[in-house]
Amino acid sequence: METSNSRPPGVGRNPFVHELNFTTTEKIKIGLMSVTVFPVRLLLVSFLMLLAWPFAFTASLGRSEFVIEPQSWWRRFIDLCLRLIMRAMWFCGGFHWIKVKGERAASSEVPILTVAPHSSFFDAIPVTMTMCSIVAKLESRSIPVWGTLISYIRPVFVFRSDQDSRRKTVEEIKRRARSGGKWPQIMIFPEGTCTNRSGLILFKAGAFIPGLPVQPVILRYPNKLDTITWTWRGPGAFKIVWLTLCQPHNAMEIEYLPIYTPSEEEKENPTLFANNVRKLMSRALELPLTDLSFDDRDLILSQGPLRIRDCSSLLQLNHLLSRLGLKAGTTQQLLEEQARRARKLQGDRLGLDDFAQFLDLPVTDTLKQVHSLFDQQGDGRIDVRRFVVALSTTRRPSKSTETLKLAFKMYESEESGEVPEEELVVILEIMLGVKKEELSGLFEASQTGKVSYDELQLLVQQHFALDGLHFRAHPHKSCISRPMSCNGHSHDKDN
C-alpha cells in the first residue's frame, strides 16, 4: 500500500483535538472567578437541574415510548415550566443572551432538524429550548437527574449492545419522520461525535435516509476563549464545566437555515443528500469540509510505541472498509483466521476474484478499490498479507504491537522463525505510513538480513520511543545503526 507524506485532500487540522492555552491575565481571572462566581453558579445550576427533575419525572409517568399520545393540558403546562427552568439554568451558567437567527419550521413541515457542528454537551441548549427529540445511547437514560430529562423528550434510543442497532434506529427515525408531525421534531447531530469546530466532518446518513425535507441548524460560540469544546483529546467534562462557569459571559448563536428539500436523486442516495446539506452548512458557517468521520478518530489519535506518522492511505482504506462492512465486523478471532490463511498462501499473489473469495465478499466497485490499493506492481494481483496488516492497523491503531505480532506470524520462516528485513520494512511502512527510505537504516547492524521476533522487540524498544521512530534525518542517526550504543529516546514532542 503506497504511503504519502502529506495529508489527504480535505484533511486539515485534527478535528478531534482541543488545546487550551491561557495567558497570565486569563489565569488570574479564572482564579478569581473560581473562588467567587463559580461556586454560586454551580449551586444555582445544580438547584435548577434538580428542580426540573420532578416535572420531567411526573410528565413521563405512564407514557409510552412507541405510541404518540395527545398532549394533555397539564403536560403542556409541565413542558412550559421545564423550558423556563432550563433557560434559567443556562442563564445562571453564563449563557445570558442566546442569539437566534431564522425561524424553526413546524414539525408537520420538517420532521428532522440537522444540527452542526457538534462540539460540546452545551449543544443541548437548543434541545432544551425546543424540547425536540434526539438520538441518544440507551445508557444515557441511567444518568442521575439528567437521564430523566433526556427520557422526557422521548429520544430515539440506540441499543449499542444490539448488533442490529443501526437498522432499528434508522427504522424508528423513519417511522417518526413520516408521522405527519404527530411526533415531536427530531434534532440530529449528523457528525455523530464532538469535534473542535475547525471544520465539518462527514455526516452520517441516518437523518437523510427517510428522504424527507430537513432544516439545517448551525451553532456558533463566538467567544474569545473557547472553554466550550469537549472532544476526544483535550480537557475533560468537569474541567470544561469549571472553566465555562468561570467566564463572565458565554456567547452562543443558533441559526435556522432555510428548509432543504431533497431532489429525487438525493432521496435515492442518502449519502449524496447528507454531503449536499453538509456543503450548505459549511458555507453558512464559513468552515472548511474535512474528509474525516467518526470512524477515523482512532486512526488519527493513535498512540503507543509504534505511532502512525501519516495515516493518509490508512484513512482511504478505512473509508472503503466501512462501505464494505468490514470495519465493524472485524474481530480479533477473524484477524487471526485471515492471518493463518494468508500465511498458507506463502506469498502467492491474488487476483480480484481470489481476493473476493478470501474475504467471502462479492466483487464490487468498492472491493476493486481496496484491491487496487495493494496492487504495487500494477498487474492486478496483490499479496494478501499486506491487506491483513493494514486491516489490523485500521481496526486497532493503538495496539500496534499486536498487529506487529500478527504480521510476524504471517511472514516468518518455518525453519528459522525469522522475517526478511525487506518484508519487515514493508510491514512497518504500511503500519506507520512512512517511506521505505526513512526505514532503510533501521537494520544496518544486522548480519543475516533477517530478524527474529526477539530482535524485533529489541528494535521496537530501542528505536520506537513514545514520540515515534527516529528517522534518518534525526540528529541521533547513530541510534538506528547501533541500537546498543544509546537509549534511542526521542526529544520531539508529538502533539
Query: Hunting for cell 518455518 — which residue is that?
Result: 414
Using the 8-state DSSP alphabet, how is residue 133 labeled?
A: E
Virtual CA dihedral for 35, 39, 42, 47, nearest 10 degrees? -170
Together in a domain, 250 and 322: no
Together in a domain, 190 and 128: yes
Q: For position 303, what pLDDT does the model report?
A: 67
Above 50 in pLDDT, residue 476? no
Residue 254 lies in a domain: yes
- Residue 443 gets the label, from left (phi > 0), alpha (psi -120 to 50) or beta, of alpha
Above 60 in pLDDT, residue 359? yes
Tell me the mean pLDDT in the region 36-55: 96
Q: For position 439, what pLDDT does the model report?
A: 65
Together in a domain, 256 and 140: yes
CA distance 37 to 250: 14
Residue 1 lies in a domain: no
Question: Which of 254, 273, 292 finishes a domain?
Answer: 292
Average pLDDT taken over every residue of the chain: 85
> Each residue of 274-285: pLDDT tens digit?
999 999 999 999
Burial of 78 (0-12, 13-18, 19+ CB in 10 A): buried
> Each residue of 217-229: pLDDT tens digit?
999 999 999 999 9
Of 115-119, 149-153, 303-307, minimum mean pLDDT range: 303-307
> Each residue of 178-194: pLDDT tens digit?
888 889 999 999 999 99
All three cell numbers of 67, joined, read: 405510541
Contact 201, 191 (CB under 8 A): yes
Higher pLDDT, 289 or 466: 289
Higher pLDDT, 487 or 88: 88
For the chain, what is the domain count? 2
Question: Which of 238, 265, 292 finishes a domain?
Answer: 292
Virtual CA dihedral for 453, 459, 462, 468, nearest 10 degrees? -110
Q: Give the residue among 167, 213, 161, 225 at the shortest CA–CA distance from 26.
A: 225
> Each residue of 66-78: pLDDT tens digit?
777 777 888 889 9
CA distance 343 to 112: 50
Using the 8-state DSSP alphabet, how is residue 180 labeled?
A: T
CA distance 230 to 417: 47
All three cell numbers of 369, joined, read: 478499490
Which structural domain, as residue segments, surrounds residue 67?
24-292
Residue 492 lies in a domain: no
Tell me the mean pLDDT in the region 203-209: 93
All three cell numbers of 177, joined, read: 419522520
All three cell numbers of 307, joined, read: 505511532
Question: Which of 231, 263, 292 finishes a domain?
Answer: 292
Above 60 in pLDDT, residue 113? yes
SS (H, E, C) 316-381: HHHHHHHHHCHHHHCCHHHHHHHHHHHHHCCCCEECHHHHHHHHCCCCCHHHHHHHHHCCCCCCCC
Question: Please, which residues bridge with residue 262 across strands?
Answer: none
Tell me the mean pLDDT in the region 447-454: 75
Q: For position 68, what pLDDT does the model report?
A: 77
Residue 487 lies in a domain: no
| pLDDT-based confidence at residue 462 (cuts at 50, 70, 90) | low
Which of 15-24, 157-166, 414-423 tops mean pLDDT? 15-24
| pLDDT-based confidence at residue 38 (cuts at 50, 70, 90) | very high
Together in a domain, 138 and 237: yes
Residue 459 lies in a domain: yes
Above 80 in pLDDT, residue 95? yes
Tell me the mean pLDDT in the region 258-267: 96
Above 70 in pLDDT, residue 5? no
Helices within 205-289 (DSSP H only): 237-245, 264-268, 270-285
Burial of 185 (0-12, 13-18, 19+ CB in 10 A): buried
Contact 110, 207 (CB under 8 A): no
Q: For position 64, what pLDDT does the model report?
A: 74
